[in-house]
Amino acid sequence: MRSHKVIEVRSLTPSTYIIKMEKNDFLFKTGQYITLGFSGNIDRREYSIYSSEQDDFLEVLIKEVDEGLVSKKLKRCKPGDHLDVDGPFGHFSLQENEIDKKKFLFIATGTGISPIHSFIATHPNMDYRLLHGVRIEEEAYERESYRNENYILCTSRESTGDFHGRVTDYLKQNPVSSDTVCYLCGNCHMIYEAYDILEKQGVSLGPIHTEVYF
């Protein structure tokens, strides 16, 4: 367990925020997650790393969950506070030999965009398309981080996104070529449904990578 000093808390929406911490000597592979909580407190939760491998700080993107314990507490942290970080954990990682060669499709719901942000910030020249499923447009967290022509915002509760509907509706209407490497992250219902759609479209199991948040 390591203690990391908070540098800044950046608010993106009334419920979503980014905690920027000192990196110290922490090393990770883009796509991995940490467990995070206040120093000395036993309550910790998993959060994907939002920043890139080469950044000299560590960031996580968190949405405060109604009635949630840790996401609510962390929202109140201030610069100078210390957080306990354990990890890195997980295998939601890019294959080194594919990064410059393959076409990628990233599908994320809500804060599931966090490891995808880290992928793209770490490897900005990747050939990717990103489907981001949210309820309303304000949840297009730091959209300017992505090439506009490669980012498709799917809004389910309003028609202000690039596509009105869920990411799974978009996938049904826009089939994916079978040589695409797919990474899915976020809510389990989206992941199960999108997985089935991709399989039916001929994307073989090998190139589908998933990370379930809840």
Ligand X SMILES: Cc1cc2nc3c(=O)[nH]c(=O)nc-3n(C[C@H](O)[C@H](O)[C@H](O)COP(=O)(O)OP(=O)(O)OC[C@H]3O[C@@H](n4cnc5c(N)ncnc54)[C@H](O)[C@@H]3O)c2cc1C
Instruction: Give me the residues that bind ligand X (CB under 6 A), please.
Output: 33, 45-48, 60-63, 65, 67-72, 110-111, 114, 211, 213-214
4 or 63: whose CB is closer to ligand X?
63
Shortest distance in whole angstroms from residue 134 CB to ligand X: 12
Helix (H, G, I), strand (E, B) or coil at 141: coil
| Complex with ligand X: residue 9 or 62, whichever CB lies closer | 62
Q: Cα separation of 27 and 30, whole Å?
A: 10
Q: Least distance (Å) from ligand X to the CB of residue 55? A: 16
The residue among 86, 82, 80, 27 whose CA lies nearest residue 51 is 27
Backbone angles phi, psi at 198, to 5 degrees: -65, -40
CB of 17 or CB of 163, closer to ligand X = 17
Report CA-CA distances (Å) from 175 to 60, 106, 155, 185, 197: 32, 14, 19, 19, 9
Q: Minimal distance in Å, beta carbon 63 to ligand X? A: 4
Provide the Cα torsion 13, 145, 89, 68; round to 10°: 10
Q: In the bound complex, what is the minimum distance in angstroms from residue 36's beta carbon to ligand X? A: 9
CB nearer ligand X, residue 119 or residue 176: 119
Q: Which is nearer to ligand X, 68 or 165 (CB)?
A: 68
CB of 200 to ligand X, least distance (A): 27
- Spell out where the chain has E strands: 2-11, 16-22, 33-38, 45-48, 57-63, 82-89, 103-109, 127-134, 151-155, 163-164, 181-186, 208-212
- Residue 13's identity, in one-letter code, is T
Of 53 and 103, nearer to ligand X (C-beta) is 53
Q: In which residue are the tokens 């939002």 written?
A: 50
Residue count of the chain, please give it: 214
3-state SS assignment for residue 163: strand
Instruction: State the residue number with the nearest CB to ligand X.
Output: 68
